[in-house]
């Protein structure tokens, strides 16, 4: 309040920060994230993410469903990589139960999971280009390859997205020879397709302008916030559970974990996902060659499935990062307590830091680059 | 060809729709401009004569009013189908035979949708905005009509001596509509979209206008009919290839390949070498004031000047297309309606008929900038094959066969062959440019607003000024359209 004695120093043309409410119905927020942005012109000064629009009490439901029922439900936690949520829970339950998983089942798990990693990254690639404004054209090319994998999933699991394929103790179904040969054919042609994407995107001057030097994630900051997955590997932290804390048959497989040598920007996060897809393809190829014969489940898949009393934690490397599951079982047909560690939730927490002082056009470029799945955030 | 069948379908769809659109316009123009006045002429009264004159004068307006809505519907359809092919999809193929009526159904849907004015919006401005956005595209299209119909007598009325100036003035008005709509919507996204659009239009209009000014400089005229006429006679005369600098070459080639007496007579029995000399070396020598012995030096300078002119006009064409893309808010310059940032930008709050008008105007603008490119750079209604080559390939025979087939229609004045051929070439040229814009849309991501401004002010505007200066100097040494 200016009194008579005070001098009015405000300029004639009053400028003010503008509060803009992005989402939850915004077309580009990948679902139902709400961001309250404080804008100075077009520059974002402050971001406040509002979570929980998609909260479905997945952990509570785990305590109120039998193991057998809950297995079918958890694919919905991260709908783009259902295999990994299934696998994390199955591994945690196996740690508690102490049951053996047959080797063939382990190979099948690795195979389908890496397929799932490819589908997840492919969808990310398409939607990311949409975030950058390539509304038509390129975004549909990844879907072409994704469709082939989804058909394979449909054949082996009966579902295209909510697989319910990896079960406690093993996997659900044995693949047919025809399925394996189809997958082999896919792995042979997939690298060419990735080259195709790179030819369109990686060299595109507008794409480079939009992504290089945008949203730089410092290594230390990322570690402080607990970022995992390709996003932090693109910033130079070598965390990949498949290597650093090996599980399943990963020690027997030959593959690279691409790690950046500097603080990564949006472009690095893109290029590291592309490299991961190539590696996943290599892993699938090896699994197809090494796949042994034998049982596919160490536990009988019946409605009255029980897990021995005890508690345990297991984590897998999902397309988005470390996906962990903590289980307390009292030996009954349902869990006593289940707690999830979701990579999307932890990765999203960095968003306000990354968005600071970027123009509003970069909001989606940065948000898309950390690859967040909203159901995975809210559970 | 994995998509061969789909491409074939797109081709049939395109040709069918062309027949529908241009048939409808043609028949409407014929009825109002030719048939009715002819009927009226049998009554010998002042009233009848006056009505006939008025009807003739109204034909251009009528043709545009018939043309714009159907054409926009078709362009939306072809864009969706073409994008579907680029993106390994099928596209709309359900409504009507193979999806031919999809956009007609969409238009009907939009007409019947509830027309919402948001709470707190400035209702008057909110309604005015789509009109301000759309109306200039109708005015702007008018002078082009005379150029693309080969100066048909019905369309002479819309020609202006300052045609291109008028078109550019009209095409700058829509941005007012966008700002108005963004402001009146009472929505922050719309406001940001509207303001972005104003900034973008101001920046990109400069290279656009400078590239057209370059062409006007070579043509020595602002009259679009004049500019189109100068370019007649094949691709070597088009403005995109030096703005008339290759006309001497064209004449020499015509002389070399043609044996008909008429062309020999026309060119006063000179040998091809003499033609080249008279049209290139002599003007250069005259411009530089060189003596008779310095022909080799004059030749070098003439060659350089011709090459510079070709390069400059080609770059000017690129500048025009870039500026035009930004002017009509298409990817990669669609910042005013950037979906992943601003929901839908300035038209976020619009629905129903008002949104339909915005949509209509956008596609009409695309068509108009493509038509301007066709008239200013690509020779308007001119056949790209030079006459001497066309004669060798049997062009006259083909034309006479077509004339015979169309003879009954020519008799009742339904068809005028020069206008028909001009229209066909214009359609092909304009839709090639439209198709190119669709291809761009299917390929590129979007610029960021600051990068857009950088690109406009730091790259395009200096480049367009350089091109302009180059043309100013180079045309002194070569005969271009203006000198003849």
Sheet holding A43-50, edge to edge: A18-22, A34-40, A43-50
CA-to-CA distance for B117 and B123, rounded, in angstroms? 7
Phi, psi at B439, each rounded to 5°: -60, -45
Q: Which of residues 17-36 of A touch B (CB under 8 A)?
A: 18, 20, 26-28
A205 lies within 8 A of chain B by CB: no
Question: Is the same domain home to B80 and B144?
Answer: no
Question: Is the same domain home to B132 and B106?
Answer: no
| CA distances (Å), origin A121, targets A230, B49, B362 | 10, 73, 35
pLDDT of residue B265: 54
Structure confidence at residue B464 as a pLDDT band (50, 70, 90): very high
Say yes or no to pLDDT of B423 above 50. Answer: yes
CB-based contact A370:A211 (threshold 8 Å)? no
CA-to-CA distance for B58 and B64, rounded, in angstroms? 10
Q: What is the largest CA-CA distance in chain A?
A: 91
Phi, psi at A79, each rounded to 5°: -70, -10
Which residue's entry shows tokens 């997958």? A183
Domains of chain B: total: 2
Contact A206 B447 (CB under 8 A): yes
Question: Stretch B269-283: mean pLDDT, rounded?
Answer: 74
**Which domain-ending residue is among B87, B112, B137?**
B112
Q: Which residues lie below 8 Å from residue A64, measured CB to CB, with a gap of 6+?
A: A334
Provide the β-strand partners of residue A36. Answer: A21, A48
User: Residue A295's Cα: distance from chain center in Å?
Assistant: 30
Low-confidence winner among A11-20, B61-70, B89-98, B360-369 (lowest mean pLDDT): A11-20
Low-confidence winner among B173-177, B260-264, B430-434 (lowest mean pLDDT): B260-264
Nearest to A372 by CA among A354, A352, A346, A353: A346
Question: Is the same domain home to B105 and B124?
Answer: no
% pLDDT > 70, chain A? 96
A320 lies within 8 A of chain B by CB: no
Q: Is A153 or A9 the better-scoring residue by pLDDT?
A: A153
Question: Is the same domain home to B133 and B108?
Answer: no
pLDDT of residue B259: 58
| Helical axes B174-184 vs B163-172, angle rounded to 10° | 10
Low-confidence winner among A114-123, B244-253, B321-330 (lowest mean pLDDT): B244-253
> According to the per-residue pLDDT averaged within each range, which of A30-44, B203-217, B375-389 is highest?
B203-217
A137 lies within 8 A of chain B by CB: yes
Please tell me the distance in Å from B9's CA to the nearest CA on chain A: 19
Please give the interface size between A and B, counted as residue pairs whose CB atoms are below 8 Å apart. 91
CA-to-CA distance for B364 and B137, rounded, in angstroms? 7
CA-to-CA distance for A109 and A105, rounded, in angstroms? 6
Provide the β-strand partners of residue A38. Answer: A19, A46
Question: Is the same domain home to B352 and B424?
Answer: yes
Nearest residue on chain B to A26, alpha-carbon basis: B343
Question: Stretch B256-273: mean pLDDT, rounded?
Answer: 62
Please tell me the distance in Å from B338's CA to the nearest CA on chain A: 7
CA-to-CA distance for B166 and B163, rounded, in angstroms? 5
Tell me the pLDDT of chain B averaged across its residues.
Answer: 82
Question: Is the same domain home to B103 and B134?
Answer: no
Question: Is the same domain home to B347 and B380?
Answer: yes
Q: Does residue A362 sit in helix, strand or coil?
A: helix
CA-to-CA distance for A90 and A50, rounded, in angstroms? 31
pLDDT of residue B267: 53
Rg (CA), chain B: 25
pLDDT of residue A11: 59
CA-to-CA distance for B477 and B285, rounded, in angstroms? 8
Question: Stretch B400-429: mean pLDDT, rounded?
Answer: 83
% pLDDT > 90, chain A? 4
For B434-448, the pLDDT digits (tens) are 988 888 888 888 888
Say yes or no to pLDDT of A1 above 50. Answer: no
Say yes or no to pLDDT of B241 above 60. Answer: yes
Please tell me the distance in Å from A14's CA to the nearest CA on chain B: 17
Q: pTM of this prediction?
A: 0.84
Contact B451 A209 (CB under 8 A): yes
pLDDT of residue B263: 52
Domain that holds residue B428: 113-483
Element (DSSP H or E) covering residue B408: helix B395-411
Structure confidence at residue A2 as a pLDDT band (50, 70, 90): very low
Q: Is A52 or B263 the better-scoring residue by pLDDT?
A: A52
pLDDT of residue A248: 84
CATH superfamily, with its number, for domain A21-374: Cytochrome-c3 Hydrogenase, chain B (1.10.645.10)
Question: Stretch A121-140: mean pLDDT, rounded?
Answer: 81
A199 lies within 8 A of chain B by CB: no
Which tokens hold the place of B361? 């105007």
Question: Stretch A116-137: mean pLDDT, rounded?
Answer: 84
What beta strand segments (E) does A278-334 contain? 310-318, 321-329
pLDDT of residue A326: 92
Q: Does residue B354 sit in helix, strand or coil?
A: helix
pLDDT of residue B465: 92
Q: Does residue A237 sit in helix, strand or coil?
A: coil
Nearest residue on chain B to A29, alpha-carbon basis: B340
Question: Is the same domain home to B53 and B189?
Answer: no
Please tell me the distance in Å from B141's CA to the nearest CA on chain A: 29
Contact B341 A28 (CB under 8 A): yes
Structure confidence at residue A216 as a pLDDT band (50, 70, 90): confident
CA-to-CA distance for B361 and B131, rounded, in angstroms? 9
- Give this complex's ipTM: 0.75
Q: Which residues of A touch B188 (CB under 8 A)?
A: 18, 20
Question: Stretch B10-20: mean pLDDT, rounded?
Answer: 86
Say yes or no to pLDDT of B53 above 70. Answer: yes
Structure confidence at residue B466 as a pLDDT band (50, 70, 90): very high
Nearest to A190 by CA among A288, A80, A286, A281: A281
pLDDT of residue A298: 74
**Which domain-ending residue is among B89, B112, B135?**
B112
Contact B189 A20 (CB under 8 A): yes
Question: Is the same domain home to B315 and B374?
Answer: yes
Please tell me the distance in Å from B90's CA to the nearest CA on chain A: 12
Question: Is the same domain home to B122 and B103?
Answer: no
Question: Is the same domain home to B348 and B461?
Answer: yes
Contact B188 A20 (CB under 8 A): yes
Provide the β-strand partners of residue A18. Answer: A39
Structure confidence at residue A10 as a pLDDT band (50, 70, 90): low
Please tell me the distance in Å from B329's CA to the nearest CA on chain A: 13
Contact B192 A42 (CB under 8 A): yes
For A267-292, b/e burial (b = at least 16 CB within 10 A) is: bbbbbbbbbbbbbbbbbbbbbeeebe
Phi, psi at B258, each rounded to 5°: -105, 140
Q: Choosing among A17, A30, A33, A136, which should be mutated to test the B contact, i.e. which has the most B CBs within 10 A?
A: A136
Say yes or no to pLDDT of B117 above 60. Answer: yes
Nearest to B63 by CA among B144, B179, B1, B121: B144
Say yes or no to pLDDT of B483 above 60. Answer: no
Q: Is B482 or B239 the better-scoring residue by pLDDT?
A: B239
Question: Stretch A325-349: mean pLDDT, rounded?
Answer: 88
For B123-135, the pLDDT digits (tens) are 888 889 888 888 8
User: Domain ranges in chain A?
Assistant: 21-374
A138 lies within 8 A of chain B by CB: yes
Q: Which residues lie below 8 Å from residue B86, measured CB to CB, with a gap of 6+?
A: A136, A137, B438, B439, B442, B443
Question: Is the same domain home to B145 and B105?
Answer: no
């Amino acid at each position: 309040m200016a009194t008579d004695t005070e001098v009015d120093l405000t300029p004639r043309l009053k400028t003010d920060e503008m509060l803009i409410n992005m989402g939850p119905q915004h077309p580009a927020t990948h679902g139902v994230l709400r961001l309250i942005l404080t804008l100075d012109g077009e520059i974002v000064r402050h971001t406040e993410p509002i979570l929980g629009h998609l909260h479905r009490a997945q952990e509570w439901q785990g305590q109120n469903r039998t193991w057998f029922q809950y297995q079918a439900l958890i694919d919905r936690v991260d709908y783009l990589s259902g295999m990994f949520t299934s696998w994390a829970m199955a591994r945690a339950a196996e740690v508690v139960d102490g049951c053996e998983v047959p080797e063939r089942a382990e190979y099948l798990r690795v195979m389908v999971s890496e397929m799932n990693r490819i589908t997840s990254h492919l969808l990310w690639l398409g939607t990311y280009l949409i975030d950058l404004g390539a509304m038509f054209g390129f975004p549909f090319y990844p879907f072409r390859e994704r469709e082939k994998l989804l058909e394979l999933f449909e054949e082996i699991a009966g579902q295209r997205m909510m697989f319910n394929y990896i079960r406690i103790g093993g996997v659900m179904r044995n693949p047919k020879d025809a399925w394996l040969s189809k997958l082999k054919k896919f792995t042979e042609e997939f690298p060419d397709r990735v080259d195709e994407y790179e030819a369109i995107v990686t060299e595109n001057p507008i794409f480079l302008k939009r992504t290089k030097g945008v949203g730089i994630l410092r290594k230390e900051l990322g570690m402080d916030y607990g970022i995992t997955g390709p996003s932090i590997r693109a910033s130079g932290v070598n965390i990949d559970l498949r290597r650093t804390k090996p599980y399943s048959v990963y020690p027997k497989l030959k593959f690279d974990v691409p790690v950046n040598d500097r603080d990564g920007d949006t472009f690095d996060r893109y290029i590291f996902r592309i490299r991961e897809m190539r590696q996943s393809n290599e892993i699938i190829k090896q699994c197809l060659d090494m796949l042994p014969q034998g049982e596919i489940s160490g536990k009988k898949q019946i409605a009255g499935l029980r897990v021995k009393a005890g508690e345990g934690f297991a984590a897998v490397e999902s397309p988005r990062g470390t996906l962990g599951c903590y289980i307390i079982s009292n030996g009954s047909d349902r869990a006593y307590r289940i707690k999830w560690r979701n990579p999307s939730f932890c990765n999203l927490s960095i968003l306000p830091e990354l968005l600071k002082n970027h123009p509003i056009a970069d909001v989606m470029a940065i948000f898309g680059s950390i690859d967040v799945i909203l159901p995975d955030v809210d559970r | 060809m994995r998509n061969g069948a789909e491409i074939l379908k797109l081709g049939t769809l395109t040709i069918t729709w062309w027949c529908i659109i241009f048939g409808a316009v043609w028949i409407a123009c014929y009825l109002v401009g030719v048939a009715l006045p002819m009927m009226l002429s049998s009554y010998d009264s002042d009233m009848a004569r006056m009505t006939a004159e008025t009807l003739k004068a109204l034909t251009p307006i009528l043709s545009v009013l018939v043309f714009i809505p159907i054409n926009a519907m078709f362009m939306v359809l072809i864009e969706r189908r073409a994008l579907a092919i680029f993106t390994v999809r099928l596209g709309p193929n359900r409504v009507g035979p193979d999806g031919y009526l999809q956009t007609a159904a969409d238009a009907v849907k939009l007409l019947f949708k509830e027309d919402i004015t948001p709470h707190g919006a400035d209702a008057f401005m909110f309604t005015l905005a789509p009109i301000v956005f759309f109306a200039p595209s109708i005015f702007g299209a008018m002078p082009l009509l005379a150029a693309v119909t080969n100066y048909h007598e019905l369309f002479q009325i819309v020609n202006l001596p300052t045609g291109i100036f008028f078109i550019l003035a009209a095409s700058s008005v829509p941005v007012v509509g966008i700002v108005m709509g963004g402001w009146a919507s009472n929505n922050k996204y719309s406001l940001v979209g509207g303001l972005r659009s104003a900034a973008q239009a101001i920046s990109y209009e400069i290279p656009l206008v400078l590239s057209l000014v370059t062409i006007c400089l070579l043509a020595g005229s602002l009259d679009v009919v004049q500019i189109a006429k100068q370019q007649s006679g094949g691709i070597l005369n088009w403005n995109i290839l030096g703005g008339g600098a290759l006309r001497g070459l064209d004449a020499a080639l015509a002389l070399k390949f043609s044996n008909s007496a008429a062309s020999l007579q026309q060119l006063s029995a000179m040998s091809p070498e003499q033609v080249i000399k008279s049209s290139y070396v002599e003007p250069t020598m005259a411009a530089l004031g060189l003596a008779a012995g310095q022909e080799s030096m004059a030749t070098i300078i003439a060659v350089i000047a011709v090459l510079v002119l070709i390069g400059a006009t080609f770059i000017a064409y690129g500048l025009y297309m870039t500026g035009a893309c930004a002017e009509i808010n298409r990817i990669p310059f669609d910042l005013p309606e950037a979906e992943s940032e601003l929901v839908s930008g300035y038209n976020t709050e619009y629905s129903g008929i008002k949104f339909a008008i915005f949509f209509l105007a956008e596609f009409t603008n695309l068509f108009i900038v493509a038509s301007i490119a066709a008239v200013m750079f690509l020779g308007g209604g001119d056949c790209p094959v030079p006459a001497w080559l066309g004669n060798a390939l049997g062009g006259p025979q083909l034309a006479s066969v077509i004339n015979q087939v169309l003879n009954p229609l020519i008799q009742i004045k339904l068809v005028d062959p020069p206008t028909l051929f001009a229209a066909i070439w214009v359609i092909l040229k304009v839709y090639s440019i439209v198709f190119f814009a669709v291809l761009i849309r299917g390929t590129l991501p979007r610029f960021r607003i600051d990068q857009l401004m950088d690109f406009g002010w730091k790259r395009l505007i200096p480049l367009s000024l350089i091109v302009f200066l180059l043309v100013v100097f180079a045309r002194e040494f070569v005969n271009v359209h203006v000198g003849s």
